[in-house]
Amino acid sequence: MQKGAIRVQTENIFPIIKKFLYSDHEIFLRELISNAVDATRKLKTLAGVGEFKGDLGDLRIEVRLDTEAGTLTISDRGIGMSADEVDKYINQVAFSGAEAFVKQYKGQDEANMIGHFGLGFYSAFMVSSRVELFSKSWQDAPAVRWECDGSPEFVMEETAKTERGTDIVLHINEESREFLESARIRGVLGKFCRFLPVPIYFVDKESKPDDKPVNNTQPAWIKKPSELTPQDYQDFYRELYPFGEPPLFWIHLNVDYPFNLTGILYFPKIKHSYEIQKDRIQLYSNQVFVTDEVKDIVPEFLMLLHGVIDSPDIPLNVSRSYLQGDPNVKKINNHITKKVADKLEEIFKNDRKAFEEKWEHIALFVKYGMITDDKFFEKASKFHLMQEALPGGKTGPFHTLETYRQEAEALQKNKDGKLVVLYTTDPVQQDSYISDAAAKGYKVVKLDTLIDPSFISQMEPKWEDVQFTRVDADITDNLIDKQEKSESVLSQGQENTLKEIFGLQLPDPHIKVELKGLSADAQPVVVTRGEMMRRMKDMAAAGGPGMSWYGEMPDEITMTVNANHPIFRQVLQENDKDKQGKLVHNLADLALLSQGLLKGTALTDFVKRSVELLEGKSKSRIILEP
Ligand SMILES: Nc1ncnc2c1ncn2[C@@H]1O[C@H](COP(=O)(O)OP(=O)(O)OP(=O)(O)O)[C@@H](O)[C@H]1O
């Protein structure tokens, strides 16, 4: 028997390892199983090049739980180690690795560490009071037993093990008894080992052994796209997210230069924004699960996607702030953005119908990407779609900015030469404005999702010659500011009388009444809220920075009276002043109502007044008919 002390440079690292990363103790199993996988892979490589000529046998890895003995054992049938190798790799290499790791991370934020590699073999001491290692090398050497109780002293001796490979026996410590529970171990295996390339079997001494491995050794992303059918991709999605709806489409990533990266990104169906981020992209390194916190590796707007990314080139044992500055990470980020944009463009070009059908779900990614990523914006401007809103709640064709421009340019250019994109945020509520705009030959598009207000304000500076105007921002004639004058059929005297009646009926200082000569078939009264003020108020309501002041401002409303509407000739001819006033008040209320601005007592009064008018009642009539 050989006794020895592990070379300790500065201080004993064992107490630190034990206390270390309390919340993340379960990673010991990932570390030890990764080592078992590496040892198995190395043996396969040796066999592949003809150096190992024996029988490979069943290369499974076993995780054995013995609650009674208080042990958890990880066994592999990989290359194994001779006594010299244990001394070299475990006593020296692994120890100095762990030592360096502990030094680097001492005192650092634990959250930074989650899912990051590095502690290796010695992570076993996070959960063990004692660790035994039995190993037999693939080469001709006696089997060896190594033992350490978490002090720098170890014991090493020959042992009777006959099978090639390594068993690591963990004597689970008091504080870590949770790892003697079958369900807990299954949970950890499910999390980290789901797609490892060597079959892993869980053996609980107290129950019947599993006949199936806990992992899928051939996950779809490691296969060639040509070997996979659409069904295979769908099946793999279900394996990842058993409760998710089927994905819309996917991108198979496969890069080997200038970095290694494979993976499958899925576009999920997203109808409601609250569903976002329920499932996430998972990051793997050589099929070992690392984390589902992919914040710095995947561009922010693509975090809404699902799927897996596997790259041995993403530095895993460094802190997050370092990750952001890493040139590989930046390259990976750009590559993924490009791939996603290319894929979307490909579907847009080759299967426009499918693209339009899916637009409802992908619009959020595309718009978010266009707002936050300049490179993506450039590509996506070509396939970003806007759907036309037609009167009566109907929808029309989809337009790109380019086709919208071609069809609308003739009528919708303002005096500054800008293309005015008319949009609705609520096709039902704004239906009368959509009808009026359609009557003039204008094209109105639907921009009615949560992201659209920011999208509009971010696109205006990017699409330099485009201006967005909500369809109810002004009377239809003024939506496109062409500085044209329209004539009223009323005389100056008649106009003044009409203005006076409106003034008497609507003494509210926030309502500005103006007379215009619009076309006779336009609405008699139109209520509008200016585009800019409305946007400010919407932003204030959404809690935009420094915007609360706008939120407190009263609504400024413009009430445009269409002097050319025939009803006003009737109104002016009405001798019953009370009825005349009521008619005017009702016309104004109808306009407010169509904008959802008539509320409370004003609404009650309107209903009462309407009934009175329908009954033909007015004060003067009542006096005349005692
Ligand atoms: N099950 C095993 N079979 C054969 N060799 C092993 C086994 N476990 C560990 N080793 C040897 O011990 C070395 C150190 O292991 P350790 O887990 O500490 O670090 P690593 O695997 O090299 O790196 P890291 O875990 O940080 O990615 C390994 O490189 C390997 O040579």
CATH of 492-540+547-624, one of 1.10.357.10, 1.20.120.790, 1.10.620.20, 3.40.50.300: 1.20.120.790
122 Cα: distance to centroid of ligand 1 (angstroms) = 10
**Domain 2-204, CATH among 3.20.20.70, 3.30.565.10, 2.140.10.10, 3.40.50.10490:** 3.30.565.10
DSSP string, 316-379: -SS-HHHHHH-HHHHHHHHHHHHHHHHHHHHHHHH-HHHHHHHHHHHHHHHHHHHHH-HHHHHH
The pair of three-digit structure tokens given for residue 228, joined into one six-digit string: 């996979």
Look at residue 623 in the predicted model and tell me its pLDDT: 39
| Domain spans of the chain, in order of start | 2-204, 220-355, 385-479, 492-540+547-624
Atom of ligand 1 nearest to the CA of 165: 3
Q: What is the pTM of this model?
A: 0.73
Ligand 1 atom at minimal distance to the Cα of residue 168: 1
Q: What residues have CB less than 8 Å from 218, skipping those under 6 apart? A: none
Residue 22 has a pLDDT of 46
The amino acid at residue 473 is A
- How far is the C-alpha of 420 from the C-alpha of 407, rounded, in Å? 12
CB of 309 closer than 6 A to ligand 1?
Answer: no
Which residue has its alpha carbon closest to ligand 1 atom 26? 118
Atom of ligand 1 nearest to the CA of 118: 26
* 90 ligand 1 Cβ < 6 A: yes
State the pLDDT at residue 9. 58
Query: What pLDDT shows up at residue 151?
Result: 81
Give mean pLDDT in consecutive 10-residue pieces for the chain, a chain of 626 residues. 68 67 76 94 93 92 96 97 93 76 63 56 90 96 93 90 96 94 95 94 88 94 94 95 87 85 89 60 87 78 88 65 67 86 93 92 89 91 95 93 90 87 92 90 91 89 90 78 69 87 80 80 81 73 59 72 88 88 90 84 90 73 38
Substitution site in 38, 96, 126, 285 for ligand 1 pocket (most atoms within 8 Å of beta carbon)? 38
Exposed / middle / buried, residue 509 (Cβ in 10 Å: 0-12, 13-18, 19+): exposed
Residue 318 confidence (pLDDT)? 47
Minimal CA–CA distance to 433: which of 391, 403, 464, 398? 391
Q: What is the CATH number of domain 385-479?
A: 3.40.50.11260
The verdict on the CB of residue 213 being under 6 Å from ligand 1 is no
Residue 97: per-residue pLDDT: 73
Cα 319 from Cα 14, distance rounded (Å): 22
CA distance 416 to 404: 18
Ligand 1 close to Cβ of residue 120 (< 6 A): yes
ipTM field: 0.97
Question: What class has domain 220-355?
Answer: alpha beta
Any atom of ligand 1 within 6 Å of the Cβ of 87: no
Q: What is the whole-number distance in angstroms between the Cα of residue 27 and the centre of ligand 1? A: 15
